[in-house]
A = this chain, B = another copy of it.
Amino acid sequence: MNAEIIAAGSELLTAEHVDTNSLHLTAELNNLGVEVTAKAVIGDDRDRLADAVRAALSRSPIVIVSGGLGPTEDDVTREAVALALDRKLVFHPEIAEQIEARFARMKRKMVEVNRRQAFVVEGADALPNDRGTAPGQWVEESGGVVILLPGPPHELKAMFERQCLPRLRRLVPGLAIRTLLLRVTGMPESDLDQLISPVYKKYLNPVTTILAGNGDIQVHLRARCASVGEAEALLAEVGAPIEALLGDKIYSRNGDPLEVVVGEMLHKAHATVAVAESLTGGMLGERFTTVPGSSRYFLGGFIAYSNAMKVDLLGVDPQLLAHFGAVSRETAEAMAAGARRVTKATYALAVTGVAGPESGEDAAPVGTVYVALADPEKSVAVHRQFLGDRTRIRVFTTQMALDVLRRRLMVRA
């Protein structure tokens, strides 16, 4: 079964704004087994919007229109859909009362213009909006449906989930959906694809999607079958060989990002961690502390951006620094050992490297990175050469550092 999504609103035709509601709606529709075959953005123009709704409904049994349900003259979705279906708009006094009551709860008086929001397409169900004033509408038409949703994402999401999903499930032939998400790091997307595509390319169902960015790869498998049992069996059949091929490059099976996985490992091991950052300037600490409760294992650390800070804060030997340079295996190891010594953390991670755009006095090329991990026994550095711009190199480095610690914790677990 197919659906089309239309976003109404002139602000979505500017150079600054993109319609993101359709991404959420697409994910929800795909989960029902519904494919989205076209999307459109139309400005605040009643006749154009009516044309778009009419055309979409001629091709697809489900048409969702988001936005344009506000109280002002610019909000033309109600009128456009009525026009497209050749129906009247009917005033619902009980909706006007609900809107008025909502204003009263906020200690405000309803503005007269809000009465526009109480008009509903003839024969349609009004969909209550508990996060805003604009009700949605569910308009059935010759076997198909036009669904009107408010534009603000938190209103749209809640209304779709509570009001539309139950109705759509009755409309759409039943399908059981089961998904598997593997998060992987430490290899390029192209290598991963070469490795696992011989497995997943044999199957149209489950659908396999690979998303990569910032040194992180997500492998999504979505199985759609007539029963839950079949979907789970199919997912296991395709998922097991993929998991075997990726091995310990898989760091998460529940969607958790790497900083959460590493944080849980640290917490379970009753271990603590500190950082000493040159290249990343604080980005690694920032990632650790993105996680609520990270104070249980993350002590803090040092942003040792200048050479003086490496010596003064971390106790790196100035002669070692002068001899090997700030971007070297030896300096990274000394930084990690120093951070561990001063903070008394179980582990310390140190990063140094060249983010560019220029490579400076160190003569190491842009993208050269050393990550060192100090543990109770030793401090050992790993070298990598990244490509890309300053931001990419820094982000990849934090991913690499977290993964170095993850692998160390796996060995000890």
* Residues of A bordering B, CB below 8 Å: 12-16, 18-20, 23-24, 26-27, 30, 35-43, 45, 48, 52, 55, 59, 209, 211, 275, 277-278, 280-286, 288-290, 292, 294-295, 298-306, 308-309, 312-313, 342-343, 355-358, 390-391, 394
Contact = CB atoms under 8 A, between A and B. Distances in A.
19 contacts: A12-B39, A13-B35, A13-B38, A14-B30, A15-B27, A16-B23, A18-B18, A18-B20, A18-B23, A39-B41, A281-B298, A282-B289, A289-B305, A298-B306, A299-B305, A301-B302, A303-B303, A312-B343, A313-B313
A343 B38 CA distance: 58
Contacts of A305: 285, 289, 294-295, 298-300
Contacts of A13: 26, 35-39
Nearest to A360: B295
A40 B37 contact: no
- Oligomer: number of copies: 2
A15 B181 CA distance: 15
Nearest to A27: B15
B302 A303 contact: yes
A303 B275 contact: yes
A39 B40 contact: yes
Contacts of A358: 292
A3 B301 CA distance: 54
Given A55-B55, A309-B343, A43 B48 contact: no
Contacts of A40: 38-41
A146 B389 CA distance: 35
A33 to B, nearest CB: 14
Contacts of A282: 275, 277, 281-286, 288-289, 301, 303
Contacts of A27: 15
Nearest to A289: B281
A357 to B, nearest CB: 5
A136 to B, nearest CB: 21
Nearest to A17: B23
B286 A286 contact: yes
